[in-house]
Structure 1
Amino acid sequence: MSPTYILVTGATGFIGSHVVSHLLSQGIRVRATYRSQRKADAMLAHFRTLYGGDKADSLLDFVHTGDLATPGCFDDSLKGGIEVVIHCASPLNFALSPAEFIDPAIAGTKSLLSSISSTPTTKKLVFLSSFAAVVDEANKGIGPGVTYTGEDWNPITYEEGINNLRLSYLASKALSEKEIWKWHDSVGEKSGCGVVSLCPPLVFGPMAYPVDKISELNSSNAELWMLTTGFSPLPLSPVPHWISVHNLATALVNAALNDAIVKKRYTIGSPDPFSTQLAADTFRSLFEWGRERVTEGEPGKYPDACKLEGEIARKELLDGKEYIGWKETMAETLSHFKEIEDRENAKQA
């Protein structure tokens, strides 16, 4: 039987807000955690317009969590009959030190697991992990002939992450997901709480509710938009794969709603590889302003890269539908960001 009350952590974030929107569109009651009152207010106002005030008010409630690393910060969020948790919350600020990156991610995960352990109504945890928890660049590499699946794990250690800022994000994702599966094997499975994790690469798409400034874009979209500033030479992307936020949100919701999907770990992503040169070529072909603002680079010269196994997720989490295509995603996403920029510039004029 499908759940009727779902907790979404990190609900005001880029991916979390799309997940909330998908759930509301299906008439499912949602509790949303937040840390920024301003973002929560903006999201609620938009969803009241999108779905109707009565529907949004009756289906959506908010709980403030504060510091994710604080023990018990999720206790109140799980009260009242929460049946499934979709965990999207994780610190992502590249200005942080390695310890500030890794420790809160692990502590926040442990805090959530502790709260779930004491909440008998919660029967499933859907965990938003990352390709960062899968890729083993040092040993397996990301070159041609390599394929990553849900069976692969990044072997990075806490010590490696804490001593290298570049590796701290990888460590935060890999180590926090490992806490999930360790808990599942020792506690969750015995208590009847199933676990599903999704490990997407770069996630692109429009924001689920209005933002006022380009600076409020999430990290992957911000890196994409940076190319429109004339950045030269075109930077190399460390991640050669991507997924539309619409596909990812659909997959997370379907993982939550399908009782048969438990004890599963998915790699999920478009079969089309990503590169900054591809992005530059696409921007320049789709938009007149793109030809003026995006560095040309070496058109059509795309690096060979590893493959990401996404067929299992496509069949089981996307109902067999094809992944949303690159050009369609870029046309929607860049048009949306240009509107944000134009509004921001108009306010400053």
Structure 2
Amino acid sequence: MRAGYNVRGIVRSELTADKVHRAFPEYEEELSLVVVPDILRTKAFGEAVQGVTEAAAIEGTINILDSITRNAPQVRQVVHTSSFGATLDPSKGTWPGHVYTEADWNPMTYAEVVHEDTTVLAAYYAGKAGAERAAQDFMATETPPFDLVTTCPPYVCGPIKRLTASLAHLNTPSMEIYRLMSPI
């Protein structure tokens, strides 16, 4: 936004949208938010991607690599956190016994999932795979002075930054951990 870009973000509720707008009042014109309460619903992001010209995960990854190349010559290694979803090929099913390697890729592109009747998770995975491919292409064409290491974790969790007033407002990873610890 500071660089003149318009940014469209996705939030889960109007309450969150209000909080974000209050946190960034100087970007009232550049920041738009779309409320998507159920990100697992098919076509949940339909409105959010209308008119979007670049996928944030892909463009964001390239922007950070380019910035490091131009402004941080002391950096020797960059760790890119992708997702296990970038390696999943939905046509293979659960693929029992398969050992995943760097040769495994999710074949869907971000452009395909935006224009097809796919789930939000499929769009997320395609975006992660696209960002990872873009990072590898960047490394091959720009030959920066650092190494790139990509990790594809199946799950990421950590401490909650802000405690919420109710369980209904926990983020997905925290809710899953809560469910594991809760009595049946």
| Aligned twin of 2:136 | 181
Name the SS for the 2:90 alignment partner. coil
Cα gap change, 1:124/1:216 in structure 2, threshold over 3 Å: closer, same or farther?
farther
Q: Which has the higher contact order (CA 8 A, sep 6+)?
A: 2
Residue deviations 1:245-285 (CA, integer Å, cap 9, x gap)? xxxxxxxxxxxxxxxxxxxxxxxxxxxxxxxxxx5xxx4xx
Gaps of 5+ in 2: 1-19, 28-37
Name the SS for the 1:150 alignment partner. coil
Q: Offset of 1:122 from its aligned partner?
A: 2.6
Residue deviations 1:102-161 (CA, integer Å, cap 9, x gap)? 7111221222122122122332211000001111121x3213232322331111123322
TM-score by length of 1: 0.35
Name the SS for the 2:156 alignment partner. strand
Q: How many residues align?
A: 139
Whole-angstrom CA distance in 2 between matches of 1:215 and 1:207: 17
| Paired amino acid for 1:145 | G
| Paired amino acid for 1:171 | A
TM-score by length of 2: 0.61
Whole-angstrom CA distance in 1 between matches of 2:154 and 2:80: 14
| Aligned twin of 1:113 | 65
- Greater C-alpha Rg: 1
| Aligned twin of 1:147 | 99
Cα gap change, 1:182/1:207 in structure 2, threshold over 3 Å: closer, same or farther?
same
Gaps of 5+ in 1: 1-35, 40-65, 67-92, 229-278, 292-349
Whole-angstrom CA distance in 2 between matches of 1:96 and 1:222: 22
Q: 1:201 aligns with which of 139, 147, 154?
A: 154
Whole-angstrom CA distance in 2 between matches of 1:154 and 1:192: 28
| Paired amino acid for 2:94 | I
Cα gap change, 1:208/1:154 in structure 2, threshold over 3 Å: closer, same or farther?
same
Q: Is the 8 A contact 1:161 1:170 kept in 2?
A: no
Cα gap change, 1:134/1:161 in structure 2, threshold over 3 Å: closer, same or farther?
same
Q: Is the 8 A contact 2:81 2:152 kept in 1?
A: yes
Q: Offset of 1:208 from its aligned partner?
A: 5.1
Q: Is the 8 A contact 2:83 2:154 kept in 1?
A: yes
